[in-house]
Amino acid sequence: MTGSETGRTVTPQLPTSPWSGYVFAVALIGAAALLRVWPLHALGSSLTWLTFYPAVMIVAIYGGLYCGLLATALACLTVTYLWPFLVETPFIKSPADLLGVGVFVLTGSMISGVAEAMRRANARAKAAQEQAEAASRAKSAFLATMSHELRTPLNAILGFSDIMRRDPSVAEAHRANLDIINRSGAHLLSLINDILDMAKIEAGQLLLHSETVDAHEMIDDIAAMLRGQAEDKGLSLTLDRANTFPRFIACDVKKVRQIIVNLAGNAIKFTSKGGVTLRFRHEEGRMIVFVEDTGIGIRPEDQKAIFDPFVQAGKPATQKGTGLGLAIVREFLEAMGGTIDLESVPDKGSTFRVTIPAPIASGAEVASPVHPKSRVIGLAPDQPPFRVLIVEDQVENQLLLRNLLEGVGFIVEVSNHGGEAVDAFPRFKPQFIWMDRRMPVMDGLEATRRIRALEGGKEVKIVAVTASVFEDQREEMIAQGMDGFVRKPFVASEIFDCMEALLGVRYDLETAADPEEPSASASLPDLLASLPETLRGALSDALTKGDTDEIAGMMPRLERAAPTLPKTLARHLENFDYLPILQALESAKSKT
């Protein structure tokens, strides 16, 4: 349901033809006249207009101006000429009665005019409502289309660059270029996600996913991510967490992290001296966060505007940012039932106060963190062959997924659309199907329905692989018979994990060293300690900002200073796992 549908109002059903209004006017005036015969015959010719005023009003409301005027005229005609059929003495006996006729005509005309204005206003409101609903549907369709059109090529860019940079035959110089391509694509994906987040919010598609989280670990991680950025500007970052703050809370952890990081990141960005303080409290099932800075402050006339999309400090967003951060923060908080307040004094600093519903939870519900330590290099022996059908209309995505699966030993066949997949199924007899949703000729939903109706179709595992960002489309796919859902752009581990869960397939793994354990030659903090202080500071700043271009551009300098460092960092960088590197940079400071 879209936002426009939630505010739907019921408007009166208007007559489809003016003749229905005229017939109604004649019928109602006739009924009003007959009431004078029975049961109001005792009134005689007194209270002349008693039954005609309500009749004119009802007709005017139903039929509008002309029907109301017709009812008024019929009432006057009845009172003036048809009275012998109703009463014993005439209604018009004196000039005063004639004045009453004039007043009745004037009042009836006014009632008819007001009723017509009401009808026209209702018609305009209904048209505006329909237009708003159409705009909302168009926005949702645009969002779905742009999500698919933008994320589908990004899937190929990120996927192929990742496969190539893992290839041992690729020269180091080319690997650095591939790193730039991969991280630039990831940065572009982040920007697209921000814009799509805002569009989903406006389209009423924002969903919440509450889970139990270790709040202390979450807060410490956020502080660690931001501390290097603050220190590089010569600022202090102070963390003030109340002793009574609970260890485990229930909330949408991704959105809560995004809210805090956006606010604290802005505070650091607009503070040139002093520091930033993060205060965390918990009262009556709500987490309260204060983000205080000693920065430039915000003028009173700009304080409301900064929460508008594409605005920074009351001015249009510059090229250094989209201006969506605070707008997304506000929308996330409204969706969660939270609040945000701002106190600011120009040239002295600002304080944002955020409240977020976050009831205390049991620590037993927290899932153990999973750290990637291995890569799939093949299928484990002693397994039957696995046949996989890829149904995808984009050639580059066909090649990406095919290379990924054939590279580890799956038997793969490709169909260009759903119709080909339905034809190929009885012949190829796949155990697993990767099904795109949006395709020409026949889409993924229709193909899934038809395959399920074929012999063996109920046993095959079918998983959607799509660029869609809508949760309701995921529910639609599951309802149509799909077994799972993977979004583009995907990473290899998502593909293999999904097939392991649904097929029970086992893999040969290339075990990598634990990123937190020291290598045979030197630990990550030791390697980082060998760097010049300015280079460590630049790396910390790039990691904190998530600037993939800057990180990739620093690799040659890092390799010259510490030849084994880029390969050690690669285990973290390829998964955008920056926190261990930032923690190692902190440790490296104490070694110098």
Q: Residue 310's pLDDT is what?
A: 54
Mean pLDDT over each residue of the chain, to the nearest integer: 81
pLDDT at 13 over 50: no
Split at pLDDT 50, 70, 90, the class of 178 is: confident
584, burial (CB in 10 Å: exposed 0-12, middle 13-18, buried 19+): buried
Split at pLDDT 50, 70, 90, the class of 202 is: low
Q: Residue 493's pLDDT is what?
A: 83
pLDDT in tens, 82-127: 999 999 899 998 888 989 999 999 999 999 999 999 989 988 998 8
The pTM of the whole model exceeds 0.75? no
pLDDT at 200 over 70: no
Check residues 309 and 351 and name the one with the higher pLDDT.
Answer: 351
pLDDT at 319 over 60: no
pLDDT at 301 over 70: yes
Token pair listed for 48: 């002349």
Q: Do domains 211-365 and 374-511 have the same CATH topology?
A: no
Q: Residue 514's pLDDT is what?
A: 43
Q: Where are the domains of the chain?
A: 3-135, 147-202, 211-365, 374-511, 524-591
Split at pLDDT 50, 70, 90, the class of 174 is: confident
Q: In the CATH hierarchy, which fold is given to the domain comprising 374-511?
A: Rossmann fold (3.40.50)
pLDDT in tens, 463-522: 998 766 555 567 778 888 899 888 877 778 889 989 998 998 999 887 544 434 433 345
Q: Residue 322's pLDDT is what?
A: 47
Task: Give the single-character DSSP code of 170.
Answer: S
3-state helix, strand, coil split of the chain in percent (to 5) is 55, 15, 30
Cα 203 off chain centre by: 8
**CATH superfamily, region 211-365:** Histidine kinase-like ATPase, C-terminal domain (3.30.565.10)
Q: Residue 469's pLDDT is what?
A: 54
Highest mean pLDDT (candidates 139-153, 176-190, 207-221, 283-297): 283-297
